């Protein structure tokens, strides 16, 4: 298997993971088959479209490279017909979302850095690509996006993007960077959920001092 | 009447229809006059702005071609002063939304295909232009977008875009493609609502098997 | 202090004001420290990123000019640690939001007009830049955006943008336009809230006439 094929597979795997997470949310919300396909597909390719709009790639790759949309639609359809029962569906949403997050953040950062952007810009591009699909999914179904509420969500994305940039800076290929950075992000995200790691929350004074 | 004038009228008719649907939602939600204008205008020109961002047209046509915004604002103002009572307003929202959907999907797809994009890309551009305005409207007023819940909504958009591409491929003008594709989309959308056509919904097992 | 430095300070002040308003919403909603940073930062730099996407600036300035993001993150962090009690927090949200609104609308319009856009396009660019950050903040935390519900919100933005364009048209610098247009927008917005100025709301007939 050549590097190019492996690379394409990694990209499609990220799209598939996000599409599945989106379709699962659609199924849980009781959408019809096309609603499930729409939310699944937008979740799968939405982050990449946002990235292309930010970087000035017109039209976005997912509009012209048909496998991206095909994989997203196929994943959504599969979820419509085969999915876990209501009590388990949220768990699978989180797991597939974590895989999409990790693959997209590392891949986006590696591409951007390899194409000559600074490390800061590359990490931002990767993080926004990864978070974008999930935000589109959550805004569509009218929920507060997971990036604001899930354990170590943005931290995992930033970490994965940073590691991917580091791998490319040390001479690794974009494929290697995607694998290593993605794996770190996925592990951190799922471990933080499993172990209930939280970042500190603000201390709210319910009875503020006079005139505060 | 020359072809160019007819073409401009079709584009403005789509903007007007979407603006009216948005303004009706604003009125139903009890927004003030400027809130009604904002949600109406964003709904009217939002899909086209999204299309221009995706295709790399800077700044978007609606920012430089003043009739677009003028029509959207005028339609919103008209709705503010003259609108049906609360029990009928949802019906008019749906009808004007269907006209905007049909005109935008067919017109967007015809333009994109005539400008050299592949049929797949052209259909995607048309569909997203058409769905975009409605999604902006529904997200602004904090509802789950109609594309996820309304009967045959995305199906109508995709069908209209596909027919428009077919008309252009057979040698028809973009105006003809907009009329035929748009009419098909509007008829299918309104018929599906009238007749209660639904796509299948997922079967949820409320009491999943052990370990499922 | 040179004009360029003053100009940069004005831009960063707008980002800081919006970031603080976003972070305050995040604190009120009980997000953890990173959630507060994410919503604060997106609010601070989101409007400018949207403007750059509309105008075709790739990648957006905030991705490459690090002080923008640094100021947004610093402001969010400061709010996380030091913020008013629950009964006063909404008041501060509104005040900082007004400062962000005024600075962004005047500055965006002045830049666009000085770069050769028509007055209409310049006012639209300024208004959308100013409103964009607040819409992103409110959509993220799942509320109807303030632009649709707050007193004279869009009016203040349009007025500030128009005055800024006028100042540049009369030969003033972009810095002067930002200061004068921004001050007018801030004063109008805060006065309208203080004095409870409202635009008229639609008259809804709860019991519509037969067949209406």
Helix (H) or strand (E) holding B179: helix B174-194
Q: Examine residue A137 and state whether it is found in any structural domain, yes or no.
A: yes
Cβ pair A207:C26 closer than 8 A: no
B58: nearest CB among C55, C207, C208: C55
pLDDT on residue A208: 44
Distance CA B93, CA A150 (A): 36
Quickly state the pLDDT bin for C185 (edges 50, 70, 90). Answer: very high
B36: nearest CB among C55, C142, C202: C202
Q: Does the pLDDT at position C76 exceed 80?
A: yes
Distance CA B97, CA B44 (A): 10
Asked which of B119-123, C17-21, C39-43, C208-212 is least confident by mean pLDDT, the reply is C208-212
More confident residue, B2 or B27: B27
**Alpha carbon separation from C151 to B137, C44, C107, C201 (Å, rounded):** 20, 21, 22, 12
| C137-161 average pLDDT score | 86
To the nearest whole number, what is the mean pLDDT of chain B? Answer: 87
Minimum CA–CA partner of B37 in chain C: C148
| A80-99 average pLDDT score | 86
To the nearest whole number, what is the mean pLDDT of chain C? Answer: 87
Candidate ranges A5-9, B45-49, B176-180; pick with highest mean pLDDT = B176-180
Cβ pair A155:C35 closer than 8 A: no
Interface test with B, best of C117, C202, C203 (most B CBs within 10 A): C202
A199: nearest CB among C32, C69, C84: C32
CA neighbours closer than 13 Å in the CB half-sphere of residue C32: 15
pLDDT on residue A206: 52
pLDDT on residue C73: 95
ipTM associated with this complex: 0.78
Q: Name the residue range of residue C11's domain.
A: 3-194
Cβ pair A33:B200 closer than 8 A: yes
CB pairs under 8 A between A and B: 92
Minimum CA–CA partner of A143 in chain C: C142
The structural domain count of chain A equals 1
* Selection from A25, A36, A21 nearest residue B200 by Cα: A36
pLDDT on residue C205: 57
Q: Examine residue B101 and state whether it is found in any structural domain, yes or no.
A: yes
Q: Does the pLDDT at position B91 exceed 50?
A: yes
* Selection from A131, A127, A54, A67 nearest residue A97 by Cα: A131
* Selection from B14, B13, B9 nearest residue B133 by Cα: B14
Q: Does the pLDDT at position A211 exceed 50?
A: no
pLDDT on residue B127: 92
pLDDT on residue A205: 57
Q: Examine residue A202 and state whether it is found in any structural domain, yes or no.
A: no
pLDDT on residue A147: 79
B53: nearest CB among A27, A39, A53: A53
Cβ pair A27:B204 closer than 8 A: yes
C32: nearest CB among A139, A144, A200: A200
Q: Does the pLDDT at position B205 exceed 70?
A: no
| A149-171 average pLDDT score | 91
Distance CA A106, CA A122 (A): 10
Q: Examine residue C136 and state whether it is found in any structural domain, yes or no.
A: yes
Q: Examine residue B209 and state whether it is found in any structural domain, yes or no.
A: no
Cβ pair B140:C145 closer than 8 A: yes
Cβ pair B66:C120 closer than 8 A: yes
| C126-149 average pLDDT score | 86
| A89-118 average pLDDT score | 91
Quickly state the pLDDT bin for A37 (edges 50, 70, 90). Answer: very high
Asked which of A27-36, B30-39, C126-135, C194-203 is least confident by mean pLDDT, the reply is C194-203
Q: Examine residue C202 and state whether it is found in any structural domain, yes or no.
A: no
Read off the tokens for B80: 């503010």
CA distance C60 to chain A (A): 7
Cβ pair B212:A33 closer than 8 A: no
Q: Examine residue A99 and state whether it is found in any structural domain, yes or no.
A: yes
Q: Examine residue A170 and state whether it is found in any structural domain, yes or no.
A: yes
Question: B: neighbours with 3+ CB pairs under 8 Å?
Answer: A, C
Cβ pair C125:B36 closer than 8 A: no
């Amino acid at each position: 298997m050549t590097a190019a094929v492996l690379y394409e597979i990694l990209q499609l795997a990220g799209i598939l993971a996000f599409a599945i997470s989106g379709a699962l949310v659609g199924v849980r919300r009781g959408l019809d088959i096309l609603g499930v396909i729409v939310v699944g597909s937008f979740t799968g390719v939405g982050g990449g479209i946002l990235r292309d709009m930010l970087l000035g790639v017109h039209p976005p790759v997912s509009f012209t490279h048909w496998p991206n949309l095909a994989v997203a639609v196929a994943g959504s359809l599969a979820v419509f017909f085969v999915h876990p029962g209501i009590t388990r569906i949220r768990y699978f949403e989180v797991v597939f979302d974590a895989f999409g997050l990790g693959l997209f953040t590392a891949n986006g950062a590696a591409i951007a850095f390899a194409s000559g952007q600074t490390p800061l810009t590359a990490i931002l591009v990767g993080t926004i690509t990864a978070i974008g699909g999930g935000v589109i999914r959550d805004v569509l179904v009218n929920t507060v996006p997971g990036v604001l509420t899930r354990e170590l969500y943005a931290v995992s994305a930033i970490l994965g993007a940073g590691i991917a940039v580091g791998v490319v800076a040390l001479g690794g290929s974009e494929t290697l960077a995607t694998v290593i950075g993605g794996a770190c992000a996925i592990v951190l995200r799922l471990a933080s959920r499993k172990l209930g790691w939280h970042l500190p929350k603000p201390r709210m004074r319910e009875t503020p001092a006079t005139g505060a």
